[in-house]
Amino acid sequence: MSIKQPSSKQRSSKQHFLELAVELATLHSAGGRCGPFGAVVVYQDQVVGQGWNQVVSCCDPTAHAEVMAIRDACKTLERHELSGCEIYASCQPCPMCLSAIVWARLDRVFYAATKDAAAKAGFDDARLYAAFTEQQLPTLIASEYLALESAEKVLADWRKNPNKVDY
């Protein structure tokens, strides 16, 4: 059985959408009041939702980038579920966001930095991930890690930012 590799065009558009997610993370986290995470929801090769971490700025512990992008996409598409859509995140979604992604019925998740990179930046969700074993996650939704150095850079920059608000 051979594994089908994505075409260069597919890889290029995936990378483009991941870069948009990282740009959102970079732009909004520089001031320190938004965490270093961004996400876009894509439908038929068009961005229909975008979000960035607003936990501190909105005083809302659920205002993660993926959740905000899902909310934005649902408003844009005027529907409560997102089947036919994909989400591109600057970092591997936390268990809460992964649950929201599954609940919203997105088809696939792409992410540019791992949960380990997020942990190095001070975002350690290990106890939550332990509740959802790695063996269970692939049965919920197809996920694909496509590394981008810029995604890890935004996390490292966050760690060094003297203006950040830890949460």
Percentage of the chain surpassing pLDDT 90?
Answer: 71
Q: How far is Cα 37 from Cα 109, in angstroms, rounded to an integer? A: 15
122: nearest Cα among 165, 62, 78? 165
Question: Which of 66, 78, 144, 152 is labelled catalytic?
Answer: 66
Q: What are the tokens at 60?
A: 């809302």
The answer to whether 23 is a known catalytic residue is no
Does 147 score more than 70 pLDDT?
A: yes
Give the C-alpha distances (Å, rounded to integers) separating 109 from 17, 91, 163, 167. Answer: 11, 10, 31, 25
For residue 5, what pLDDT is reported?
42
Q: What is the mean pLDDT of the chain?
A: 89
Rounded mean pLDDT, 21-47: 96
Rounded mean pLDDT, 81-95: 97
Rounded mean pLDDT, 51-74: 97
Does 2 score more than 50 pLDDT?
A: no
